[in-house]
Amino acid sequence: MKHRKPERRPGRASAAPQNRILKTLDRVLSKAGICSRTEAREWIVRGRMKVNGKTVRDPEHWVDLDRDQVVLDGRPLQAEKKIHVLLYKPKGYLTTFKDPDGRPTVYDLLQRLDQWVFPVGRLDQDTSGLLIMTNDTDFAEHVTNPDHHVPKTYLVKCSTLLTDEQLERLRGGLELKDGPTRPAHVKRVRDSASKTFFEITITEGRNRQVRRMVEALESKVLKLVRVAIGPIRIHDLNIGHWRILTHDEVRLLRKSGGRRGGGAGNLPAEAGT
């Protein structure tokens, strides 16, 4: 008995054209880090998306980012030229496109940028420091993939004085609820009367990892600043400002990984408070 192939309904995106790298419109939007898949579908249905100059309201519409011009609210979702932005995120800003409660997001700081970028990894609301924004998915995958061991360096102010033994525990790795941490590079910066400032370089990106490591020492993080990503240092970049990474910096980040990070260079002004 022969089975009939199901008929393709006209106008539906259920089958992608052959020999092209295609994604559905809702997936393109969500993978860019702009919103969730559910939000993407809602935005598309409301008519906020255009493909090649025409409004598209079907979330399952197929697009080829190498050939099609995809625009959200009048701004191109992906340009031919790859862009890599280094942002100094302030404390209190969310690493998301839009917050339903109206809290500030990192996109509020990028209004002069004329194309869409997405965050390479995350910084929680209470953490400040370096955040890379890009439209280069291959680059983002290299930097965020824990198997690549790209180091991220943080300056930490904790609520207690830490002993040398406690810092050594951070270096050797701690047991957290989601498993042991990798060995870390740790350097004491200074002590005040009741608090320790230290620098830590890790090669993982678990949720609130540094905060949880400090809590495992029966202390708490009072301030957390990411001062370096791989070889890229904070230097004189001001809080809330951004700049474009140079070609050499992008090349160095692509090669970064598999080794421990060094010092953080010039520390930000907020680090000493």
Positions annotated as catalytic residues are 124
At 257, is the secondary structure helix, strand, or coil?
Answer: coil
| End-to-end C-alpha distance for the chain, whole angstroms | 78
- Give the DSSP letter string of 159-228: SSPPPHHHHHHHHH--EETTEEPPP-EEEEEEE-SS-EEEEEEES---TTHHHHHHHTTT--EEEEEEEE
Backbone angles phi, psi at 190, to 5 degrees: -170, 165
Nearest Cα to 118, choosing from 215, 190, 29, 243?
A: 29
CA 203: distance to chain centroid?
14
Structure tokens at 41: 């579908």
Residue indicated by tokens 């079907």? 58
